[in-house]
Amino acid sequence: MPETINRKARHEYHVLDTFEVGIMLRGTEVKSVRVGKLELAESYVVVRDEEIWLVNAYIQEYNWGNIYNHLPRRERKLLAHKSEITKMKEATDMKGFTIIPLKAYFKGSNLKLEVGVCKGKEDRDKRQDKHKQEAKREIDRALKERNRL
């Protein structure tokens, strides 16, 4: 299974810190993720009672699942060290900060999630990023053209 990347996250947020966490899944969820049916685009992470939860992530129902198939948008518990949970809690207590899942991937047989403590970008920040990206693209084109000669 190729890793699932939340492309929208880096466009909408400044990522300040990242953590690798595990995720508790049911059997049909794991099978569905292995087939590539995971979407992180509109999901986020909340800290409740010293536990962290993934909210609004979409894992499509497994095609060959039976009556024990999972709910596609249920909340899923994330697994992290207590010190990491404390850091995330402190960061989200400050105004304007949130925890966003950045990517999901398998490490051995375990599904891991990279979550980031993020601060929302303003429109001018997004424009600056776009200008930087266009400038880099032009430089790369010029270098490529120069190397052809």
Under the banding of pLDDT at 50, 70 and 90, the label for residue 122 is: confident
CATH of the domain at 71: 2.40.280.10
In the chain, the number of structural domains is 1
- Work out the average pLDDT over 134-147: 89
Percent of the chain with pLDDT over 90: 33
Q: Is residue 21 part of a domain?
A: yes
- Does residue 63 sit within a domain? yes
In a domain, 143, yes or no: no
Domain membership flag for residue 135: no
Model confidence at 62: pLDDT above 80: no
Angle at 118 between CA 113 and CA 120, to 5 degrees: 135
Range of the structural domain that residue 30 is part of:
4-121
Q: What is the pLDDT of residue 47?
A: 92
Q: Does residue 124 have a pLDDT over 90? A: no
Has residue 149 been placed in a domain? no
Mean residue pLDDT of the chain comes to: 87
Pair type for strands 13-23 and 76-79: antiparallel
Q: Is 127 exposed, middle or buried (0-12, 13-18, 19+ CB in 10 A)?
A: exposed
Give per-residue pLDDT as tens, 63-121.
Answer: 776 777 777 788 999 999 999 999 999 888 888 889 999 999 989 888 899 999 998 87
pLDDT bracket for residue 61 (50, 70, 90): confident
- DSSP letter for each residue of 74-131: --EEEE--HHHHHHHHHHHHSTTEEEEEEEEEEETTEEEEEEEEEEEPPHHHHHHHHH
Res 8: pLDDT: 85
pLDDT band (50, 70, 90) for residue 59: confident
Question: Which regions of 6-94 does DSSP assign to beta strands (E)?
Answer: 13-23, 38-39, 44-48, 51-55, 58-59, 76-79
Residue 97 main-chain phi, psi, to 5 deg: -105, 145
Where is pLDDT greater, at 104 or 31? 104
| Confidence check: pLDDT of 1 > 70 | no
Residue with tokens 């990279």: 114
The answer to the question of residue 130 being in a domain is: no
Q: Write down the pLDDT at residue 7.
A: 86
- 146 occurs within a structural domain: no
